[in-house]
Structure 1
Amino acid sequence: MLIATWGFAAWVPAVRAEPVVLSLVHAAATTHPAHLAALQFARRVEERTQGQVRTEIFPASQLGSENELLQKVRLGAVDMDVSSMNYLIKYEKTFSVVVMPYLFDSYAHAHRVLDGPAMKWLAPLAEKQGFIILSNWEWGFRHLTNNKRPINGPDDVRGLKVRVPPVAELEATMESLGAQVSKVGFKELHQALSQGVVDGQENPLNVIYYNKLYEVQKHLALTRHVYYHTLHLMSAQSWAKLTPAEQLIVREESKAAGDGMRRKIIAEEEDLIAKMTAAGVKVTRPDPAPFRAATQRAREEIRRFAGDENVRTFLKMVDAERSP
């Protein structure tokens, strides 16, 4: 039973012999805002359910790669995951539209689209594949680092050997700029950069900083080429084990934790840039217009994969939420 109070639902415990213990996995380091958000979520859910729903957190891909973890969630072997949107593409190609380069003008623009019309459109597609989207969490705009030269325009990317996650849409974006794409695993990335196996990589600022990638990179270009966010997902099988009252609390606390993560990641970006600059990284802020033009081929590849109708649907949402 729920009683509204102070904007939240007051909790009346379900009758249960043993508490439900949920597993929550994610790929971030324990110093990363994602882990702090996971800790907040677990604490608040346990408090509000009076210990009836508890969460065990497994950070830093302890239980497998992101692809492996998502499959475990789908099968119900793991209860929850904080996963990048792109990993859902293997189950539903429509999700690839979100990874198109240079879609969003700002964080606020991305949030209006993804929390609003896109969530109503994409969440039912995820549920058909066995995933409940609890809420959107942050990751950030992606940027490019390398050890060869400063990046001031698309031509400066040409010929660089750049590590990219195993995401076809990101590969297409880097290839459209003339980069040679490498698929080094993330756990091996720091060493690969330090040994010159690859020249560079692309990630949000928080990933570059908290995983200390900047320590083995000379140049950082604030390209903002793709906006990336994560999803707090739950197995549909695990979701069904919760009472409606527990489900409501889980959703509320997921959103609260994700909103806090967003604020922290956005607020600290200039500070992270300053820290990396102080460590000797040379930072450039290139004009996005030439990059947007140069990545047109990548957008066309994504259109062919996702389908014209899906792309048109999503771009209408993006345009409708653009500030005048």
Structure 2
Amino acid sequence: MKSRLATILCTAAVIMASSAIAQAQTVLKWAHVYETSEPFHTDSVWAAEEINKRTDGRYKIEVYPASQLGKEADINQGLKLGTVDVIISGSSFAARDYKPIGVTYFPYIFRGPDHLIAYTKSDVFKRLAKGYEDKTGNHIAAVSYYGTRHTTSNKPIAKCADMQGLKIRVPDVPAYLAMPRACGANTTPIAFAEVYLALQNGTVEAQENPLTTIEAKKFYEVQKNIILTGHIVDHLNTVISKTRWASLSDEDKKIFGEVMQEAAERTSKTIAGKENGLIATFKEKGLNVAEVDKADFEKTVMEKVNFEDFGYEKADWEAIRAIQ
């Protein structure tokens, strides 16, 4: 009888303990628009599991990939509405709330991935990230390298003037449009999902994206020239919503920040590694992979594009360019 009573009491204690843990656990939503095979997702899942471990199970983070919670504009809105806690998104969206942070998309501001990463550890980044946080309350916890944007085209391109009249698909984001328009191209904002078909049927003659995207979306099947314009060294921010960030203790803020930065470093390393091998891969496929006179492109952009048109500060551009 005593043994049976002890068993009942033990079971009750386990149930009560489990219930207490369940009540103490906070479930968060982490959203992004990338596919499950991409490092932006796999490293987000790693971060979610790591945060769970380092907080002794107090936070369970559910990661929603591939636009499951909406397109990039939707999940940014979700931060404001409190329907999502963490997102991965570009600074072009952060710039909709705080324009100066968008200067990082100005053509040729970064020399390469290493320069970008150095920027994320600089006082300039801290100041711009704080400006965004002061404006929105949202906290940029980490930055990952997305890839260096290059151009694919039906025709060879060696200098900026060769793009005159070229029909090119470019995302409908002001800073992305700057280089093609400065070179005289006709920009067309076609939905990303429709780019392959648009290139195939001649609706547009060119597009621009990182090498990893050119491979993943098989644009090389319908474009035989890969022009290494390298006009934007692209990146993504890991952003925590205002309400969630405010709810975290100082200890948990430290854990979230450290884990998210580790995840961003993993992603950046993976992307850079893949890019390094893709030029040889494309050449093996018989594509014309061509260098360009970047100085010519940059000079044209600086002559024809005004920082003020975007709401950027030239002093920020100069400070970022000076980072070693």
- Could you tell me the TM-score, scaled by structure 2's length? 0.87
Task: Pick from 309, 315, 319 the counterpart of residue 316 of structure 1.
Answer: 319
Does structure 2 conserve the Cα–Cα contact (< 8 Å) formed by 1:142 and 1:225? yes
Who is 2:137 aligned against? 130
- Deviation per residue, 1:135-162 (Å, 9 max, x gap): 111112210112x212211122222111
| Residue pairs, 1:141-290, within 5 angstroms | 141-146=148-153, 148-290=154-296
The answer to which of 169-178 and 212-221 deviates more is 212-221
Who is 2:17 aligned against? none
Change (3 A) 1:242 1:104: same
Q: CA deviation at 1:121?
A: 0.7
Q: CA deviation at 1:275?
A: 2.3
In 2, Cα distance between the equivalents of 1:190 and 1:30? 21
Who is 2:112 aligned against? 106
List, as ranges, runs of 4+ consecutive aligned residues in structure 1 with deviation greater than 4 Å: none
Q: CA deviation at 1:200?
A: 1.6
Change (3 A) 1:16 1:118: farther
- Tell me which amino acid in the other structure corresponds to 1:173: M
Report the 3-state secondary structure (helix = DSSP H, G, I; strand = E; otherwise coil) of the residue aligned with 1:246.
Answer: helix
Change (3 A) 1:41 1:235: same
Change (3 A) 1:104 1:185: same
- Could you tell me the TM-score, scaled by structure 1's length? 0.87
In 2, Cα distance between the equivalents of 1:62 and 1:187? 16
Change (3 A) 1:191 1:15: same
1:119 matches 2:122: no
- Tell me which amino acid in the other structure corresponds to 1:136: V
Change (3 A) 1:314 1:153: closer
In 2, Cα distance between the equivalents of 1:280 and 1:58? 38
Report the 3-state secondary structure (helix = DSSP H, G, I; strand = E; otherwise coil) of the residue aligned with 1:289.
Answer: helix
Change (3 A) 1:96 1:238: same
In 1, Cα distance between the equivalents of 2:172 and 2:309? 19
Gaps of 5+ in 1: 1-13
The alignment's C-alpha RMSD in Å is 2.0
- Tell me which amino acid in the other structure corresponds to 2:220: Y
Does structure 2 conserve the Cα–Cα contact (< 8 Å) formed by 1:130 and 1:235? yes
Who is 1:4 aligned against? none
Who is 1:60 aligned against? 66
Report the 3-state secondary structure (helix = DSSP H, G, I; strand = E; otherwise coil) of the residue aligned with 1:201.
Answer: strand
1:303 matches 2:308: yes
In 2, Cα distance between the equivalents of 1:39 and 1:198? 37
In 2, Cα distance between the equivalents of 1:18 and 1:290? 59
Q: CA deviation at 1:31?
A: 2.0
Q: CA deviation at 1:133?
A: 0.3
Report the 3-state secondary structure (helix = DSSP H, G, I; strand = E; otherwise coil) of the residue aligned with 1:295.
Answer: helix
Change (3 A) 1:303 1:115: farther
Change (3 A) 1:290 1:317: closer
Who is 1:42 aligned against? 48
Q: Which has the larger radius of gyration?
A: 2
Q: CA deviation at 1:16?
A: 7.1
The answer to which structure has the higher helix fraction is 2
In 1, Cα distance between the equivalents of 2:113 and 2:25? 38
Task: Pick from 93, 99, 102 the counterpart of residue 99 of structure 2.
Answer: 93
Report the 3-state secondary structure (helix = DSSP H, G, I; strand = E; otherwise coil) of the residue aligned with 1:280.
Answer: coil
- Tell me which amino acid in the other structure corresponds to 2:142: S
